[in-house]
Every structure is written in structure tokens, then in C-alpha cells.
Amino acid sequence: MHQETTQPRDVSSQVLMGIMLLILGYGIALFYGWPQKATALIVAQEEGHVADHGFAPLHPEEAEGEAPHQPHAHQPHAHQQQSVEPPAIVWVTPFALLLLAIAILPLVPATAHWWESNLHRFYVASILGLVTLGYYLLGFQQPVEAHWPAHAVVSPTADAAVQWELGWTVFANAMLHEYIPFIVLLLSLYTISGGIRIEGNLAAHPLTNTTFLVTGGLLASFIGTTGAAMLLIRPLLETNRERTHVVHTVVFFIFVVCNCGGCLLPIGDPPLFLGYLRGVDFFWTLALWPQWLVVNAALLVVYWVWDQFFCYPKEASHDLVRDEYEKRRIKIRGWILGVPLLIGVVLCVALLDPSKPLPGSDWHAPLYLREVMQLFLVGLSLLLGRRAIRQDNKFSYHAILEVAALFFGIFICMQPALQILDARGSEMGVESPMQFFWATGGLSSVLDNAPTYVVFFETARTLTPEGVFHPETVIEPSLLIAISLGAVFLGAMTYIGNGPNFMVKAIAESAGIRMPSFFGYLKYSLLVLLPIFVLVSFLFL
């Protein structure tokens, strides 16, 4: 595998310059009031008072003076009332082809080296994304629900050969509503944590590696799975560089730190944050501690037994001697700047949601202020952080670019699948907590777990009897538990279930570790995770 190398010296300078230009552009947009207008539309729909601010055409009867269209958050299954028909099932094909490309192209000798280029990954993702957008432009003649900047229903233009409005709506839903917040958050946590170095070379005993997993599992709920993963993956790899059998350690790191450790607070994992934005109490997720404890404890025990009795004894004796001889105590550099910046990212995500007022005031953040402030914190990290720390971390943008390239296509190509689920979700016969857990989890394994969570959250909302109100959970608590656990836990089943999974895989491969293929990883998850999740479903659902 290719070795991870430090980016050319001017790359961070280019990133910093790009951030400055984006901030300047956003300042100009604020001067003209564009983000404020978008926020005004969002707030109006949250309050049930819809006004057309010119961002997206509303349903035809609204123009005729009938009752205004209510926001999706206040009108369960609005698509049924407004006759929004989903695409044909065949248009899930581009998404399936992209998943197959991710799974197969690295395994084929003729394409393996070609696929290592992020530019080539972007070509494949973009072509399949364009095929999906082309369908909405040329072949789809039904209304489409818009989610950016606020909810609306966009109808096709009569007798138009090219449905520009529908194509733009799907693109905006994928890129402006979902992809930009997703990738900015990952970039922020990735880059800032890259300026913090936990260095040292502990003896890579099974207990040492288990301690890394415990620490990451605890941090994941409080600085996010991405922040915890980026902070700890490099010191874990450095600790294990004298060992030969390391793959299973990285896989369990993905299981625990990138996924299962992040379910105690909304900032831990994106699906839970989306639930918070839909009215779930911020501290409600702490009630998931029994499930969090059982799953993570089981994973830690399995890992320790695996490493202690099967992998560690297979290491060559001279490697173990070198591992003991070269050990150094742990030292943390860059934390004085990095930790406050990471906390700042968490506060941006928690407080600058345009749909919610800043606590203690009536002020709503302009659209994208949250993302711009995160980028501002990234800029501070690059400007004020020590270059030597990033060089020692072998920091590069390769891993985040891989995620950005692939998820660019994933977010577009999965739009038909999400629309089909949104329209037909209530017809799937999913009603019990057990069914919601496995339905949410199964789809979170192959779709990104954040939008999958939203689909089943809204499906569960339709099952809440009229007049029944759950102030802390919005929907039936037992269903919310099932949906939350399914999205967070089963996001670990594949590399694409959660953004940090791919990032850790890319960093490990850049460090010279031959990680399993898509299907190879699936063998680990089916062998280890699936039995634990079956146990959890019977114990708690």
C-alpha cells in the first residue's frame, strides 16, 4: 500500500486561503441579506407560517390562496397529502453500482491501482451522480419534496423537455442540505484533531490496545465519533507499528470509536443530532447508557480475547522484543489550541442551527453560519497551530478527500432510495421496536445512517396517535430507542455506514496496513457485530 506522506508545504496555505475567501464571500452574502432570508423562511415554516421568499416554488394550491403548506416537521407524511410520488425502483441502480464500485474495484488487479486516486473515485461518483440527476431532468414527471433551504413541494413544469426545477431540487437536497453540513463537520474535526499529537510508543499489549478502544469509546459521545477517531487512530497505529497482526485492531477501532461509542449525546453521531434538531431532548440520549454499555463492553471483551489468545502469540519474538525496547511514555502536544477549537466545533453544531433560536434569545443563526464558523475554527488551527505537529502526525488531506469524493456521489445517488423509503415507509409493515431497529440498522449499513434515521423517525411519527404528545422524544420512546440504536450501532456494519469508517480505513492504509476490502470488512462485522446486536435486540427491544 502507499505510505502516508506529508502534504506539500503550501497545501495547508491553500486551504487557509480558500477558507478566507469563503468567509469573505459569506460576509458579502450577509451584507445583502441572503442567508438571513433563508433563515426567515426556515423559521416561518417551523412556526407554521409559510411565506414564499422565492427559494423554491410551493405546491400549486398555495398560489391559489388555499391553506399554506405546512412544514415537514409539523405535518407527518406530507408527501401523501400532496401526492408526491417516488421514483421507480430501477433508479436505485446508480447507487447500487457506486456501492459495487467501492466494493469491487479495489479487488480487481486491473483497476486496483487506478482506484487509489481520489480523482478517479470522484470521476466514478460524479458520473453515477450525473446519471441520477439526468433522470430528474429528463425522465421524472412527478412533484419532488424540497428540503433546502426549507421544506416545499416542487412540481414539474408542464410540457417542458428539461425539468430544471426538479433537477435543481434534488441537487440542492443532496448537496446544499445534506452534503455540505456533513463534509464541513468531518473536515473540521479531521483537520483540528490533526493539529493535536498524542505521541509515545507504548508496548502494544492486548490490554494497551483495549485501553485505546475504551478511551475512544468514552470520547466519542462527547467530541463526536469523527473527533475521537481522528485523535486516537494515529497514536494507536504508532503503538502497533512493531506488530504484524494489526488489521483486527483497526477494525475494532471502527466498531467502537467510529460508531458504537457515540450514542450517549446528540453530538456523538450525526443521526442523533438530527433527532435533536427534530425536537428530541438534548439529554434524552443519556438514557441509552445500558445499551451503550452492553454493546461496547461486549466488543471490548471480544477484542481482548481475540488479541490476547489468537493474534499476540503469533507475533515474531524479535518484533515483541523491539516493541518492548522502543516504548516511550505518552505525551500530548497541541492540545492547548486544539481542545478549545474542538469544543468550539461542538458548540457551533449545537447552538447555530438556523431552525432554533440561540438559547436565551430570539435570534436565529443565518443559514450556513454554523458551517462558516466551523471553517473559521479550522483556519485558526492551520494559522496558529505548529506545522511540526502536523508533520509528525504525517497529516494529509488524502483521507478526507476520499470521503468527500465518494460521498459526493453517494449523497446524490441515494436520493431516489430515500424518496422511495419516505413515500413507502409506512407500507413496509414496520411497527414494532424490533422491526424499527433492524429496518433502520439494515439500511444504515448501506445508506448513510443520518438520512436513514430521518426517514424512520418520520415514519414512526405517523404511528403516534393523534393527541398523544411525548415532550422529550417527540415520537413513541420505545421506537426512538430502536431507531437511534439501529442507526448508530449498525452504521458500523460497512465502511460506508458512517463517515469516520472510511476515514480510518484510509489513514490505516496510508500507514501501510492492508485493510480488508468492502466484503472482507463485512465478514468481521457479520461475525462479531451481528450476534451482539441480536442479543441487544432481545434484551432491550
* Most confident of the ranges 18-27, 87-96, 428-437: 18-27
pLDDT at 371: 96
By mean pLDDT, which of 238-242, 261-265, 326-330 is the weakest?
326-330
Residue 308 lies in a domain: yes
SS in 3 state form for 409-451? HHHHHCHHHHHHHHHHHHHCCCCCHHHHHHHHHHHHCCCCHHH
User: Quick check: 14 and 397 in contact, CB under 8 A?
Assistant: no
pLDDT at 75 over 60: no
Q: Determine the straight-line distance between the first and last CA of the chain, rounded to whole angstroms.
A: 43
pLDDT at 63 over 70: no
- Picking from 95, 115, 257, the residue whose alpha carbon sits closest to that of residue 170 is 95
Name the amino acid, one letter, at 449. Answer: N
**Mean of the pLDDT values across residues 274-291?**
86
**Mean of the pLDDT values across residues 106-115?**
88
pLDDT at 48: 64
Task: Kindly write down the DSSP assignment for every residue of 51-80, as one continuous string.
Answer: ---SSS---HHHHTT-PPPPPTTTSTTHHH
pLDDT at 83: 58
By mean pLDDT, which of 3-12, 152-161, 355-364, 489-498 is the weakest?
3-12
Coil/strand/helix, residue 334 = coil
**Average pLDDT of the chain?**
86
**Mean of the pLDDT values across residues 42-60?**
55
pLDDT digits (tens, 9 = 90+) for 316-328: 998 888 878 877 8
Domain ranges, residue 72:
11-540
Q: Measured between alpha carbons, how far is 2 from 113 in angstroms, rounded to an integer?
A: 10
**Mean of the pLDDT values across residues 3-14?**
62
Predicted confidence band at 9 (pLDDT cuts at 50, 70, 90)? low
pLDDT at 57 over 80: no
Residue 3 lies in a domain: no
Residue 237 lies in a domain: yes
pLDDT at 279 over 90: no
- Picking from 196, 189, 191, the residue whose alpha carbon sits closest to that of residue 386 is 196
User: Quick check: 303 and 209 in contact, CB under 8 A?
Assistant: yes
- Picking from 330, 302, 334, the residue whose alpha carbon sits closest to that of residue 525 is 302
Residue 1 lies in a domain: no
**Mean of the pLDDT values across residues 133-150?**
92
pLDDT digits (tens, 9 = 90+) for 441-456: 998 888 778 778 877 8
In eight-state DSSP terms, residue 32 is H
Predicted confidence band at 363 (pLDDT cuts at 50, 70, 90)? very high
By mean pLDDT, which of 2-6, 267-271, 378-382, 508-512 is the weakest?
2-6
Residue 188 lies in a domain: yes
pLDDT at 39 over 50: yes
Residue 201 lies in a domain: yes
Predicted confidence band at 69 (pLDDT cuts at 50, 70, 90)? very low
pLDDT at 163: 94
pLDDT at 6: 46
Residue 248 lies in a domain: yes
**70, three cell numbers:** 405546512
Residue 488 lies in a domain: yes
pLDDT digits (tens, 9 = 90+) for 158-196: 888 999 999 999 999 999 988 898 889 889 988 998 899
What percentage of the chain exceeds 90 in pLDDT? 53
pLDDT digits (tens, 9 = 90+) for 251-263: 999 999 999 999 9
pLDDT at 7 over 70: no
pLDDT at 53: 38
What percentage of the chain exceeds 70 in pLDDT? 91
Buried-state track 164-182, b at ≥16 Cβ within 10 A, e below 16: ebbbbbbbbbbbbbbbebb
Other CB atoms within a 10 A radius of the CB of residue 319 amount to: 15
Q: Measured between alpha carbons, how far is 400 from 202 in angstroms, rounded to an integer?
A: 28
User: Quick check: 384 and 391 in contact, CB under 8 A?
Assistant: no
Predicted confidence band at 72 (pLDDT cuts at 50, 70, 90)? very low
Predicted confidence band at 60 (pLDDT cuts at 50, 70, 90)? very low
- Our count of domains for the chain comes to 1
Coil/strand/helix, residue 493 = coil
- Picking from 328, 247, 265, 318, the residue whose alpha carbon sits closest to that of residue 513 is 247
